[in-house]
Amino acid sequence: MANDTTTEQATEPKTWVQKIVHEIRETVFTIAVFLPFWLVFSTFVYELRSIPSESMVPALQVGDRVAVSKFAYGYNRHSAPFGVGAWFIGDDASDPSNRVMGSTPRRGDVIVFQHPSSNKVMIKRIVGLPGDTVQYRDGLLFLNGEEVKRELVRTFSYVQGDSSRMLRTAAEYRESLPGEDGTHLIHEFSDNECLDRTPIFRVPEGHVFMMGDNRDNSEDSRASSGHPGMAAAFPDAWNCRAISGGEPAIGFVPFDHLIGRAETVLFSLYSCRRAEGAECAAPRLWRAL
């Protein structure tokens, strides 16, 4: 009889309070086990980033989830989450190459970086390296005085992803930067748009020059207001627009602001509003950049 009583007590159903407590314990245990692994992985190996704007179309669409290599260019004060990088690497803003195991990026790399004048995290393509001269002349890119060749692929129409929902017609070109592995696609509305005419920029040591692939829908290193001493001679009005909302322009991006290299579109939550005569981007799953 004693054994029967013990069995009945052991198999007695849990109350709803006991079930809730059990679930909470399991959840806390799971978080306690996996959180350190996630922190180490996202700090030193890869992290997942979402794409918030159309500045890198067609390579990246709004809603894409991108795997970013944190070790591609070494580690700096902006690489680690929650600002802990400054604890281990230092916060010397006067040294743009203040990195651990640092390596030099390459032209054509798609980079996630910290905006030099704000806490905003951005993603663009590297066009200019230290010592390069970069200029836009009537919609054509010149690097070190030489025109970067582009080949027209097609023209097409699409619905712009911002609040205007405008139907835009764009040209798609295939472009190859000196030293780039392969080619990439760029979009332009015309050769007479905002930031299609710029002064000559010389990239200083320890910095890079960033541009979006959606050339006429990207606020990037071309905006002269991001370059001290140049804004007075070449105001952004000369480039035909000011930086929206008064936000500081990017200017040259220091090496120690590079968070990582975008390598793969893992999946996408991209949604497209179809319109007559417009097209939508193809679905993307595990696509290399």
| Residues belonging to the active site | 55, 124
Structure tokens at 20: 């809730």
Q: Tell me 72's DSSP state.
A: B
Report CA 120 to chain centroid distance, whole Å.
Answer: 10
Kindly state the tokens that stand for 241.
């627009």
Give the C-alpha separation, 73 to 186, whole Å. 25
How far separated are the first and last CA of the chain, in Å rounded?
Answer: 71
3-state secondary structure of 8: helix
Which residue type sits at 89? I
- Non-local CB neighbours of 137 within 8 Å, separated by 6+ positions: 197
Main-chain phi, psi angles of 164, to 5 degrees? -70, -30
